[in-house]
Homo-oligomer: A and B are copies of this chain.
Amino acid sequence: MKLLVTGTTGFIGNHLTEKLLKDGHTITALVRPTSSTESLSTKKIPHYIFDTDIVALTAFMQQEQFDGVIHLASLFLAQHKPEDIKNLVESNVFLGTALLEASTKSNNPWFINTGTFWQHYNNAEYSPVNLYAATKQAFQTIAQYYIETAGINFVTIQLNDTFGLNDTRSKVFNLWMKISKSQEPLDMSPGEQKMDINYIENVVDGFVHMTALLEKDTDKTLRGEVFAISAQERYSLKELANIFEKVTGAKLPINWGKKEYRLREVMEPWNKGKPIPGFTPKVTLEEGIKKTFNS
């Protein structure tokens, strides 16, 4: 397949493009003018710089005739400041809309969008944990127009927490790895919140599986569907720390309950997500932790 992918330099995009290249697919990265393209050059992935010119993007896509689009790029912010809003709307609403417009105008057959479990606070059909999640939902709201009026097979995959090699994000496992080495005590919340955290290979496999489904789905029966990639098992943050200690042999100097839960802390991640048909994550949590940290 010949694919146009956004967010290729992010954690998931990085792993997904590696896998897609390994499987023999051709990738073009859509990047913004501010993106660093160094890692793309290293991997010999060509890129298209999208500023805001949708007409030019459409012409490019018409010429390239991609088999599909995978839209991973997003601005993630657990909590926003007023000055972030312009970027949140541009990254999470405008960019997707622009890409979807160009995709439909160039008769691109399918489009995978990426969402978040945080669009479903307290397991609601829609209740955004934060403004980031609200902008993600807003893009799906706009996508509805294209789903109804254009022939594109548009699906969304919603993700929750992820981890794996080369993760530069300040995520809990990375934090734990750090304190297990420094033995500097870390204050955390009481830790009773359930975690849905997935090893990166599972997430990548889910996307790859989805592309295969879309390639076969010429009748576009999947159009408008929203899927979720969930972890096989869920543990509380506290239980997760135990597993982490057991698997890595690390000792975690955590002061449980010394911090308050966050505002709108998700105690029970969304559990009504529809699994991707025929897909099951293969790597267990323990194996994932082993692969990530025991090397």
Contacts and interface: CB of A to CB of B under 8 A. Distances in A.
B93 A138 contact: yes
A85 B93 CA distance: 11
A148 interface: yes
Interface stretch (A64-72, A128-136, A175-183): A128-136
Interface string A140-169: 011011001100000000000000000000
Interface in A117-141: 121, 126-128, 130-131, 133-135, 137-139, 141
Given A131-B142, A144-B134, A149-B264, A89 B86 contact: no
A136 to B, nearest CB: 10
A55 interface: yes
A205 interface: no
A167 B93 CA distance: 32
A211 interface: no
Contacts of A93: 89, 93, 138
Contact of A54 (B85, B90, B128, B149): B85
Contacts of A144: 126-128, 134, 137
Interface stretch (A28-36, A98-106, A287-295): A98-106
- The quantity of this chain's copies bound in the complex is 2
A52 interface: yes
A89 B94 contact: yes
A90 B55 CA distance: 18
A193 interface: no
Contact of A55 (B83, B89, B101): B83
Given A85-B98, A138-B139, 19 more contacts: A54-B85, A54-B86, A82-B102, A85-B94, A85-B101, A86-B98, A89-B89, A89-B94, A89-B97, A93-B93, A93-B138, A126-B141, A127-B144, A128-B144, A128-B145, A130-B145, A131-B145, A134-B141, A134-B145
Interface of A: 52, 54-55, 58, 82-83, 85-86, 89-90, 93-94, 97-98, 101-102, 105, 121, 126-128, 130-131, 133-135, 137-139, 141-142, 144-145, 148-149, 263-264
